[in-house]
């Protein structure tokens, strides 16, 4: 449910720099904002974990299903708009998904720690959006400009 989570105020730099991560396509930006909510929710849970164990499975289930939904949304728009870098973009998407899957397996076997999970999600938000998604945003803007 995009946008259904409360907006957390985490003094983390990521939240504060998020505005600059707009790629200029509203539906996609909204989905990215939801990822930030998910990330912040994870950080909050870890921060308060002295109150009890973190129940990760609902969180991970949501990350997996939303990631898949988000990637398919972007790829379908790219296909419609004949985006020339679709294949490279797709490869980056599913490489993240596979890393998440692999890490989840290790977390279940207690062979990874939560810092790896926050690191992976944070890196994905900062690196993929800032490079691949922004490039698609520029392509989208150029199509719009040419239609004028």
**Using CB under 5 A as the criterion, which residues of the chain lie in contact with Fe ion when the complex forms?**
74, 133
**Between 72 and 106, whose beta carbon lies closer to Fe ion?**
72
**Between 17 and 57, whose beta carbon lies closer to Fe ion?**
17
**Between 69 and 108, whose beta carbon lies closer to Fe ion?**
69
Instruction: Report the nearest approach of Fe ion to the CB of residue 75 (Å).
Output: 8
Instruction: Report the nearest approach of Fe ion to the CB of residue 35 (Å).
Output: 8
The 8 Å CB, 24+ separation contacts for 14-20 are: 14/39, 14/122, 14/125, 14/126, 15/40
Instruction: Report the nearest approach of Fe ion to the CB of residue 120 (Å).
Output: 15
**Between 84 and 105, whose beta carbon lies closer to Fe ion?**
84
Instruction: Report the nearest approach of Fe ion to the CB of residue 77 (Å).
Output: 10
Three-state SS string over the chain comes to CCCCCCCCCCCCCHHHHHHHHCCCCHHHHHHHHHHHHHHHHHHHHHHCHHHCCCCCHHHHHHHHHHHHHHHHHHHHHHHHCCCCCHHHHHHHHHHHHHHHHHHHHHHHCCCCCHHHHHHHHHHHHHHHHHHHHHHHHHHHHHHHHHHC
**Between 107 and 130, whose beta carbon lies closer to Fe ion?**
130
Instruction: Report the nearest approach of Fe ion to the CB of residue 70 (Å).
Output: 6
Residue closest to Fe ion, measured at CB? 133
């Amino acid at each position: 449910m995009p946008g259904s989570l409360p907006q957390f105020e985490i003094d983390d730099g990521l939240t504060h720099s998020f505005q600059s991560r707009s790629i200029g396509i509203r539906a996609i930006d909204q989905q990215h904002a939801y990822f930030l909510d998910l990330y912040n929710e994870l950080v909050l849970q870890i921060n308060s974990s002295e109150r009890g164990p973190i129940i990760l499975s609902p969180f991970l289930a949501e990350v997996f299903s939303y990631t898949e939904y988000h990637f398919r949304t972007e790829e379908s728009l790219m296909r419609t708009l004949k985006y020339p870098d679709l294949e490279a973009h797709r490869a980056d998407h599913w490489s993240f998904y596979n890393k998440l899957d692999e890490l989840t397996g290790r977390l279940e076997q207690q062979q990874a720690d939560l810092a790896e999970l926050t690191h992976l999600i944070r890196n994905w938000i900062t690196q993929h959006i800032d490079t691949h998604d922004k490039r698609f945003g520029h392509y989208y803007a150029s199509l719009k400009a040419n239609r004028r």
